């Protein structure tokens, strides 16, 4: 009987009670295939409690993998006890070691306080000179409330030493306020001409989303706006602009030079409501930005294929409104 047990375990049948339960995979792997992105590797960091990035980022990863050939790995905030995707878990994103071999890091985080051994992978990548793409709340990705003595506490969104923390230094701005009224005034995106890097807007006819425009103090570093956000008086794309609110950048490019003296391409957008991805123009902006960040701007198609892969039915935004019971494996391509 002992020999039988050993053979079963050696055959990867550990789910049988003789050998105990198998630990579920804690991230999503989308292998990609043929296309301009073949051989390139994108790692997504996903964890915000409000805007349903756990719905939108897997869909963006699928588009990049299936439509463009990139290998994409999606890392989530995961509940340590259940193994479920849980944006309320602020201190655990398994798989960050995979950043060591990534060609691009895509971030949609909010107020995370990760343990030092996890945070190290993010900061090592940030200092590597490799490109970074950030969505909405990534301007305030980190918030140190308990481990304030951590060497990574300087990346806190309110940091004084590293002014404005990761958001302002790396992405160009930290959290300021809701300039458009939250869930009352939506955003029309207007392409900026003459700032350089217009290739990111290639093939984009229009951008609209339920995101309200985020307020800015000023963009820091060498930021070049690509899209300006026009505040609309309602939550429909046909609503009129609010005449009392000026245009504010909602997408821009930047460079960041880290501790090792290596300079990275950075793209930031403060849009990213789960329903923003229903806008073909916004999805195309996101895909084109990844091409640009990777230095592949010459390969951006005249009109990038951003068709959904499978169904995209994101949950409504709001704290505590994420779908429960999902594990990273549920986002694998079927």
Going from N- to C-terminal start, the domains of the chain cover 26-177+253-308
| Burial class for 307, CB neighbours closer than 10 Å (0-12, 13-18, 19+) | exposed
**Among 276, 133, 155, 163, which Cα is nearest to 214's?**
276
Q: Is 127 left (phi over 0), alpha (psi -120 to 50) or beta?
A: alpha
Is the CB of residue 131 less than 8 Å from the CB of residue 266? Answer: yes
Within 8 A by CB and 6+ apart from 107, the residues are 44, 45, 132, 133, 134, 135, 138, 141
Between the CA of residue 6 and those of 10, 17, 24, what are the distances in Å?
A: 6, 13, 21
Reading the block at residue 61, the tokens are: 């990863």
pTM for this model (two decimals): 0.91
pLDDT value for 334 = 78
Alpha-carbon radius of gyration of the chain:
20
CA dist., res. 144 & res. 140, Å (int): 11
pLDDT value for 195 = 72
CATH topology of domain 26-177+253-308: Rossmann fold (3.40.50)
**Among 254, 263, 232, which Cα is nearest to 245's?**
232
User: pLDDT digit of tens for each residue in the chain (334 aa)?
Assistant: 444 444 444 443 333 333 333 355 899 999 988 999 999 999 999 999 999 999 999 999 999 999 999 999 999 999 999 999 999 999 999 999 999 999 999 999 999 999 999 999 999 999 999 999 999 999 999 999 999 999 999 999 999 889 999 999 999 999 999 999 999 999 999 999 887 678 999 999 899 999 999 999 999 999 999 999 999 999 999 999 999 999 999 999 999 999 999 999 999 999 999 999 999 999 999 999 999 999 999 999 999 999 999 999 999 998 988 999 999 999 999 7
pLDDT value for 320 = 86
pLDDT value for 33 = 84
pLDDT value for 25 = 83
pLDDT value for 161 = 86
């Amino acid at each position: 009987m002992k020999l039988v047990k050993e053979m079963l375990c050696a055959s990867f049948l550990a789910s049988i009670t003789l050998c105990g339960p198998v630990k579920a995979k804690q991230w999503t792997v989308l292998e990609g295939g043929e296309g301009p992105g073949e051989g390139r590797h994108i790692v997504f960091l996903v964890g915000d409690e409000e805007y349903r990035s756990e719905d939108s980022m897997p869909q963006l990863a699928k588009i990049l993998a299936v439509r463009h050939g990139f290998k994409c790995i999606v890392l989530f905030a995961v509940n340590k006890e259940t193994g479920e995707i849980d944006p309320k878990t602020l201190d655990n994103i398994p798989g960050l070691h995979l950043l060591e071999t990534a060609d691009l890091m895509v971030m949609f985080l909010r107020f995370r306080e990760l343990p030092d051994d996890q945070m190290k992978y993010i900061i090592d990548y940030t200092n590597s000179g490799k490109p970074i793409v950030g969505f909405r709340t990534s301007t305030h990705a980190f918030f140190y409330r308990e481990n304030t003595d951590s060497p990574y506490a300087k990346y806190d969104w309110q940091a004084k030493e590293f002014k404005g923390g990761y958001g302002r230094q790396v992405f160009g701005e930290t959290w300021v306020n809701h300039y458009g009224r939250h869930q009352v005034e939506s955003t029309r995106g207007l392409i900026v001409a003459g700032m350089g890097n217009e290739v990111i807007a290639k093939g984009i006819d229009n951008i609209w989303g339920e995101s309200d425009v985020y307020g800015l103090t000023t963009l820091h570093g060498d930021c070049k706006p690509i899209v300006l956000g026009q505040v609309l008086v309602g939550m429909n794309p046909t609503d009129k602009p609010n005449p009392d609110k000026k245009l504010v950048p909602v997408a821009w490019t930047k460079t960041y030079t880290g501790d090792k003296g290596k300079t990275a391409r950075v793209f930031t957008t403060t849009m990213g409501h789960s329903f923003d991805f229903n806008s073909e123009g916004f999805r195309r902006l996101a895909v084109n930005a990844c091409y640009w960040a990777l230095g592949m701007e010459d390969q951006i198609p005249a009109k990038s294929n951003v068709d959904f892969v499978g169904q995209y039915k994101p949950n409504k935004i709001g704290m505590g409104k994420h779908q429960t019971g999902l594990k990273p494996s549920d986002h694998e391509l079927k």
